[in-house]
Amino acid sequence: MWKLDSFTNFSFAGLHGTFNFSAAETGLPSLAGVSLPGGVGFGIASFLLGQYDSASIGNTAAPQYRRTAWSMYVQDTWKIGRKITFDYGIRYDLQHPMHELWRRTSTFRMNVPNPVANNVLGAIVYEGSGNNRCNCSLVNTYPYAVAQRLGLAYQIDNKTVLRAGWGLSYSTVFTFGYIGGGNSQGMGFNTVPFASPSTGVAAGILSQPLVYDSNLLYGASYDPSLNVKFGGPLAGSPSNIDPNGGRPPRAASSSLIPASRTAAPSPSPCGRTPSTAAAPALPGLRSAAVGTKRSR
């Protein structure tokens, strides 16, 4: 069996541009060398003059998530004798972790030298193959998800069958925020800022278009640097993706059920642990079940 999960997360928030207006453009910092009290100037006045203090524009963020999974299952039933039936099967799952279609993803790694911090360990790496990329996948694929299934049915008499089963099951791999503010740094989903060159000087006029280099908007920088201030926090919050997140959780379960039956059980459905559900007890007969389950 083959399965493909896909998800596209479009964001057009930065296309129209963002403009910020301040009182600085319509206020005087001083008068004849005498500082004026705070609150001089009005942001609405700066807006009416069309003078913005800062602005920014971005592009369309359109990460394409993909995840594939393969699985297969074989099972057989062996009727050892008139009273004993043995079910055995094995299932294999190969689940690839979620990734961005064009590998536009970055993460923080503790073992990579940071070029702007005297090569102290701790920098950003970029997924995929090519220049300035790690030539790797940020999350490992677990290739050993082999799950065994065993079932045994023993007919004690015409009305009672003792059934036992054991199985190992793997769940789906964990999903995570694979791209976003921290996971797409320098990968082509960018914002170009426009700042005021000096106090009281407008960054631009509304009647004039924003002029910028499109390479700044769509280019991927692949910059491994983190702006570090020793003794203080990191400037920006890098995301750390667990490389072992590709291993699915698994659980082992077993059961023992003496129950009223008139015939040996039929083979279980494909891919499932042989059923251990007891049939409705006949009048005067008792049914009991004992089971254990362990997850890891």
Structure tokens that stand for 163 in this block: 């059934």
> What pLDDT score was predicted for residue 153?
95
Higher-pLDDT residue of 29, 67: 67
Edge-to-edge, what's the strand order for the sheet holding 191-195?
Answer: 18-20, 54-58, 191-195
Confidence of residue 134 (pLDDT cuts 50, 70, 90): confident
Give the 3-state DSSP-derived string for 122-157, with helices as H, strands as E and coil as C. Answer: EEEEECECCCCCCCECCCCCCCCEEEEEEEEEEEEE
Chain segment 251-292, per-residue pLDDT in tens: 888 888 876 544 444 444 444 444 443 333 333 333 333 444
